[in-house]
Structure 1
Amino acid sequence: MQHAQVVKLLLVEDDEDDYILALDYLQQIPNYLFEVTWLSELDEVLQALESDQFDLCLLDHQLGGHTGLTILEAAKSLPINTSFMMLTGQADELLDADAQALGAEDFLLKSEISSPRFIRAIRYALSRRELESERLERLRAQATSRAKDRFLAHLSHELRTPLTSIMGYTDLLLTRSELDNIKPELSIIHNNSQHLLNLLNDVLDLSKINANSLQVEPSEICLASLLADLHSLFSMAADKKGLKFAIHTDVPLPAYIESDEKRLKQVLINLVYNAIKFTPSGQVSIEVRPAAEGKLSFSIEDTGIGIPQDKLTHIFKPFEQVQDSTTRSEEGAGLGLAISSALIRLLGGSLQVESSVGSGSTFSFTIEPGQCSGQLGQLDLLATTVNRPSTKITNLSGKVLIVEDLPEIRQLLGQLITATGAQVCFAENGKVACDLLTQTDADFDLVFMDLHMPVLNGKDAIVKLRAQGISTPIISLTAAAQKGNLDTLKALGFNDTLTKPINVTQLESCLQGYLSAQPAQDTLTIQPGDSHAKNKRILLVEDDPDARNLMRLLLESLECEVIAAGSCAEGLSELDKHADFDVVMLDLNLPDGSGLALVAAVHKRQSPAKLVVVSGSEPDPDALLSYPVSQVLLKPVSLPDLAAIVQNA
């Protein structure tokens, strides 16, 4: 009996002989050990049931002045998970039906207690109770998960809203030339705010991974461009610590692969950042090579402090850090490696580490490269390092269109070009660029166009433009600048090519070759605004006053007319007063209603207006399907984010 299942049983019976008989047969049922409580009074039975300590209740039908049906009916209102079986002296179909309608698992004759049917009924009742218990446990777990998701969404909103103000106002102050003397301090504020935002994003990513709700979005990746971006991003950080930083591609590799570029870059940035952070001297390197089964391998090797062997099994667990045994000088929440490991599994590979204290570490992972094409040539990353903007050329005149899908690259190019005195406009893909360049009043003097963009890529866009007779000089932006590529791009219609990462000297030389050297008549002072964004009328609905005032300032810096509201009611009132908004931007969490309800009202009153949701947490995509929302922005919202919206309104 040592392995028998213990069953707490309540026997409701007013006849002692029947009680003894039932107890005797219960003790003969194999694999069960019944702990029996014998009661017969209604009040005592209900009080005992209310404690919810019984697995099974055997319930006699006739109980003096009461019946078993009375107890069943009273038990229905109790929050218990006890199974009931009705016992009676003689068969009664109506009684059987009534008992089961009130929740009884079975209806048995007392004469059947000694039969196999009694044993089967006991086992079935207990099995059904176990299934019901599992169902209730799942429901409780789901309720807990939903509560956690609601908490994280609320936390995200509460943190992103003040970060919007901190980062946004810091951005504005950094554009003020009269504050040059405190820009180092402002940069510290901005960098630490970005650090907080990264930690928040890590927590949300980990939550999605644990809930199996994080999805990968494969797309074509230019491997040379990816590696060039990494080199540009980390070469300065490594140089600051006196470290050598190199990227090795010594074996043949495909020029293009298919994977989730955002997530792959997230993993690589995380691993390289850690390598630089924990390497006081020596070098950090990235090596890319083919792996078994057609996979692609990435290795990040450093000569840093290393990781103790007994810690290697823990570093991929959330919130685990090795600092206590190595160094306490570095910060972090201990989420990066756990997230990276999970992301690599989603990308079809695995993440491993080899390390020893004092000798450095090597983190290696493989991914499924999907459909590969082309062959990667020799990279010349050191020759294309981004330099600080030159101040010697400030007298160029002309209008330049930058066609690039990555906001950070648009922002960088915009700053470099506006510093020369030229005017800048932006397009996030080839289709938008074609629309702008084929307008009758288009007056662009020069176009810089990325090759790899969504909707319409640079190669298809140049073919389309040249076929329509557009002769504006167009410069391609690419990380693959081998001779064969250059010849192909020239044959397609590009006038010239700049290699990423952008070399400022080469950029300035290109600008001087195509633009006039005289003072510009209409130079933008705040990037990335452009003439296409001027005079747009924006309705901004945001309840947080700091965030509302900041977004108003940012939009007004783009020469937009902004009407702000702090609630659904105020937003609707402004819609009734004005019928010509180009963009309606609204928060989802407003004091007098959901932003989604306002979206429907906006659409009804303002069908031509572009609807943009600005949220502190990621809204449920399914909840947005029935609403005409053009775009969702996560706080904190930056000036380039707003410029991209109003430019295309």
Structure 2
Amino acid sequence: MNLPDLSQLQDARDVLIAEKESILVEWVSHEICSDILKRHEIDTDFFVNRYASNVFDYFMGVVSGEMEIGQCPVIADLIDYLKDKEIRADELFVLCTHFKRSVIDATYRLGVNAQAVFSTISYLFDQNFAGVLKLYTDTIYQKEQEALNASKAKEYFLSNMSHEIRTPLNAILGFVSLLRDETTNPRSQKYLDIISNSGETLLHIINDILDFSKLRSGEFTVDPQPFNIHDEISHTMELFVPSANSKSITLTSFIDPSIPYEMTADALRIKQILGNFLSNAIKFTDHAGVIHVEARYEEGTLYLSVSDQGIGIGPADQERIFDAFSQVQECGKQLQGGSGLGLSICRQLAVHMGGGIELQSSPGEGSVFTLKIPVTVNTECFISKFDPSRMANLRIALLGYPESEGYKLESLRRYWEHFGLKIEQIDSVDESADLLIFLESAIDEPKRTAIIERNIPSIAILDFLDDRYDTVGNIVPLTFPIYCTKLQSAFNEALEGTAREGVLPGSPCRGCGFEGNVLVAEDNSANQELIRIVLERYGLGYTIVSNGAEALKEFEQKEYDIVLMDEQMPVMDGNEATAAMLAYEAGSKRRHTPIVALTANVIKGARERAIQNGYDAFLGKPIVLREIEQVFERYLPSSPTVSKAPAKREENETFIDMDHLKSALMLDREQIEQLLEIYRVKMERSLDELREAIEAKSYEEIAFVAHSIKGSSSNFRFEELSRLARVIEESAAAGEEEFDFVEACEVLCGEFARRFPAKNAGYSSR
């Protein structure tokens, strides 16, 4: 390295050494340097005596030729000291630059400020700083690598141990569930309930740890998909109704009906955050309190808030509760159990989705947690959740209530105002009305008796669902939480008089049918049999095929009046077959045949995408006869037909609720038993196929078989079987290697065996 001429600087060396103390004081006293030292809690005297003085001596040694530039021994100690203070590179640069500035200022003050001296000082300091920066970079990089390796090891341990704990815990909960169904002893039931609740709590904590570790390790990903926010919020709220009821908490809600029907975001994570808000609200709200859920949409942002009447959160705790392993405390005592990870995970999830969480709270006045998430909406898709047209000319009356009960009707009033309904408040049951609405908690026995005796079509708003109106023909119960579809269903049931006539809501019109030939594309044999029975019931002709290719061949050879098309089938799926049918119609100039999507994919905007893919209508699984009847009414001419008389009920014991199936499917017992036998045979074969696919680690085949199981099970309202199959399907579709498919399959098989314990088991009315 060629050094500049040091002669003039050497001449000034003794002068500068004499001014060492003033130079160092000027260096560390500069405002910027002083702030850096204070920010990192570095004692000024310690820094000057231990490091700054030695750096000055080293610099003078380089000038006199006694030291080699860039090899200052104290620099390594200084960097090692500063790294623990987490000083940044730009702050280190400022410190070094102001040391140079203090030396140069001293040369001007002492009259040794020649150009050569200035150039030499600048050169030496620049070269020295290059060495400092390299040492700093190497040191900090080593520190970061050590921290990164430690973090990875910790997150791997958390993830691996959480998975290992969760595996046996799932089996424990599964067998506890079986024992609860088989045990009749009240004391044993109580003990099993405690085990189950404790296990669910532990499982929730473990899942929190898994989410937390994924977020910390960077393995977490956001999966935006189209979904229906109205359904997702209502379904999530319903999950928390039992725990709210256990504390007599009223769960009210207002889901703005103007929110677009379809939006794109990560629905699973949004529901996870909403669920955490609701869980905390229930946990911290006192007995007989109120929790309110609000949803609205503004300019590309979805707002979801949960308000409670809990203990509230003080200003000092409002930021801390979002830290990992932190919880609300009062008087220094922790109030509730749990992992303390829920809100921390929620905030991180919200940030990952481009949003955030806001909190408004005061001690003793409850809290409001609000999730703000950017979403993309499909404004072209609009499906009304509530039709007020049939109520336009009716006198709808609201029975008077005490002011203290008014909070229960606030959300209902907002719905009524949004849809332009005119609700007149009356003080007496004797006043005339086409439809009467009353708060169950606000009436006494004489008023209730008068409503029943007058046979007024009525809606009773109940805090919690019970059986008090099960045998009352003119009163329809409506329980919290209330949202559009629930409100619409109650109005329809009350106005149609279905309860008074003893006909189940949405049941097919007895003695009515339709004319036409139907082409059905459905690969599941149990579903084929169900559809066959439905079509025969309505007096329709039909052809049933097992895939899209067969459907297209039939379609080209013969004209049909309507096509029912399953979307997911082997050989050729429904979307491909529909596109081919539409192309054939266009090429042959044949009249259009309505094509109806028939699919189990009913959550994430499937209805809207089906219409965009060329379908004329959409039917979800499980099949609802009222919906399929509405489709037939739209596209087929009606004709009279005769229904079969119900078959005699048998009372053999099993874990299938035949009464529920008869109510849901609107079929006779004999028909349902025939379908269940087909389902059983199909399921035994499918479960064998699922085991083979899992053993072969064929994710595509696993997803395909699980999808078939999900669709079949949902038709019979076997919700747990359908849910388990859906989890397996989604995990296989995502290629999740860490998911325990073997265990999930065994749980699925156990759930199936619980309903079909023997080949020739009968089906009871349990």
> TM-score scaled by structure 1?
0.53
Q: 1:133, CA displacement in angstroms? A: 1.4
Q: Distance in 2 between matches of 1:221 and 1:243?
A: 29
Paired residue for 2:202, among 169, 179, 196?
196
- Give 3-state SS (helix, strand or coil) of 1:300's partner: strand
Task: Return the letter of the residue paired with 2:294.
Answer: E
Q: Which has the larger radius of gyration?
A: 2
**Amino acid aligned to 1:377:** K
Given the alignment, which residue of 125, 150, 154 partners 2:131? 125
CA distance, structure 2, for counterparts of residue 607 and residue 295 of structure 1? 36
Amino acid of the residue matched to residue 245 of structure 2? D
* Cα pair distance change 1:194/1:432, threshold 3 Å: farther
Whole-angstrom distance in 1 between the partners of 2:677 and 2:131: 78
Residues 313 and 328, structure 2, Cα contact 8 Å, conserved in 1: yes
> 1:633 maps to which residue?
739
TM superposition shift of 1:36: 6.8
Matches within 5 A, 1:129-140: 129-140=135-146
Task: Identify which of 304, 307, 328 aligns with 1:301.
Answer: 307
Q: 1:449 to 1:640 in 2, by over 3 A?
A: farther
Contact 1:301 1:360 in 2 (8 A): yes
Q: What is the match of residue 537 of structure 2?
A: none
Structure with more strand by fraction: 1
> Which residue identity lines up with residue 739 of structure 2 in the other structure?
L
Partner of 2:247: 241
1:514 to 660, 667, 685: 667
Residue 43 of structure 1: aligned partner = none
Q: Which residue of 1 aligns with 2:692?
A: 582
Q: Compute the displacement of 1:275 (Å).
A: 0.8
Instruction: Describe the shift of the 1:240–1:149 C-alpha distance in structure 2 as closer, same or farther (beyond 3 A).
Output: closer
Indicate the SS of the match to 1:290.
Answer: strand
Paired residues of 2:662 and 2:668 also in contact (CA < 8 A): no
1:381 and 2:486 matched:
yes
- 1:256-295 CA distance string (max 9 Å, x none): 111101100000000011111111132111111223x431
Distance across 1 between alignment mates of 2:570 and 2:635 = 15
Instruction: Give SS of 1:633's match.
Output: coil
CA contact (8 A) 2:566 2:598 kept: no
Conservation of the 8 A alpha-carbon contact between 2:360 and 2:368: yes
Tell me how far apart the structure 1 counterparts of residues 737 and 634 of structure 2 sit (CA, whole Å): 37
Offset at 1:162? Answer: 2.5
Aligned pairs for 1:32-181 within 5 A: 120-176=126-182
Match status 1:347 vs 2:353: yes
> In structure 2, the residue corresponding to 1:239 is in which secondary structure?
helix
* 1:368 Cα deviation after fit: 1.1
Q: CA deviation at 1:370?
A: 0.9
Cα pair distance change 1:235/1:128, threshold 3 Å: same
Partner of 1:360: 366
Give CA deviations for 1:97-120 in whole Å, capped at 9, x if unaligned. Answer: xxxxxxxxxxxxxxxxx9976655
The answer to whether 1:286 aligns with 2:293 is yes
2:682 corresponds to 1:532:
yes
Distance 1:640 1:491 in 2: 44
Q: Kindly provide the CA deviation profile for residues 295-339 of structure 1, in whole angstroms up to 9, marking residues without a partner as x.
A: 121121112222223322222111111134497553212111111
SS in 1 for 2:321: coil
Instruction: Summarize the Cα distance change of 1:331–1:639 in structure 2 as closer, same or farther, 3 Å threshold.
Output: farther
How far residue 137 of structure 1 moved from its aligned partner, in angstroms, is 1.9
**1:608–1:179: structure 2 CA closer, same or farther, 3 Å change rule?**
farther
Alpha-carbon spacing, 1:634–1:261, altered in 2? closer, same or farther (3 Å): farther
Deviation at 1:174, TM superposition (A): 3.7
Aligned counterparts, 1:308-323, within 5 A: 308-323=314-329
| Contact 1:312 1:353 (C-alpha < 8 Å) held by counterparts | yes
Q: Deviations over 1:451-507 (max 9, x none)?
A: 52579769849999999xxxx9976569xx9x9x996796589x9xxxxxxx99986
Amino acid at match of 1:583: A
* Residue of structure 2 equivalent to 1:552: none
Worse-superposed segment, 452-461 or 187-196: 452-461
Q: Are 1:452 and 2:602 matched, yes or no? A: yes
Which structure has greater helix proportion?
2
Unaligned runs of 5+ in 2: 1-23, 29-46, 81-119, 387-483, 491-503, 505-523, 529-564, 575-596, 639-656, 705-730, 754-766
CA distance in 2, matches of 1:473, 1:349: 32
Alpha-carbon spacing, 1:609–1:366, altered in 2? closer, same or farther (3 Å): closer
Q: Which has the higher contact order (CA 8 A, sep 6+)?
A: 1
Matches within 5 A, 1:190-269: 190-250=196-256, 252-269=258-275
Q: Does the residue aligned with 2:739 lie in a helix, a strand or coil?
A: strand
Tell me, in whole angstroms, the C-alpha distance in 2 between the residues paired with 1:360 and 1:173: 40
Deviation of the 1:176 alpha carbon: 3.3
What 5-or-longer segments of structure 1 have no aligned partner? Answer: 11-17, 38-51, 57-113, 386-392, 403-428, 439-446, 496-502, 537-557, 563-580, 586-601, 613-623
Counterpart Cα distance in 1 of 2:572 and 2:663? 25
Q: CA deviation at 1:611?
A: 11
Question: Any conservation in 2 of the 1:224–1:255 contact (CA below 8 Å)?
Answer: yes
Q: What TM-score do you get using the length of structure 2 for normalisation?
A: 0.46
8 Å CA contact 1:448, 1:477 repeated in 2: no
The 3 A distance-change label for structure 1 pair 646 and 147 is: farther
Structure 1 distance, partners of 2:185, 2:611, is 42
Letter in 2 for 1:514: L
Between the two proteins, the alignment pairs up a number of residues equal to: 432
Residue 270 (str. 1) matches residue 276 (str. 2): yes
- Once the two structures are superposed, what CA deviation does each residue of 1:83-137 show, in whole Å capped at 9, x if it has no partner? xxxxxxxxxxxxxxxxxxxxxxxxxxxxxxx997665543322222122112222
Asked whether the 8 Å contact 1:431–1:456 carries over to 2, the reply is no
Secondary structure of 2:245 counterpart: helix
Query: 1:248 & 1:305 partners in 2: Cα distance?
Result: 23
- Larger mean CA deviation between 513-522 and 252-261 belongs to 513-522
Note the C-alpha offset of 1:160.
1.9
How many Å apart are 1:245 and its aligned residue? 0.9
Is the Cα–Cα contact under 8 Å of residues 208 and 345 in structure 2 kept in the other structure?
A: yes
Letter in 2 for 1:152: L
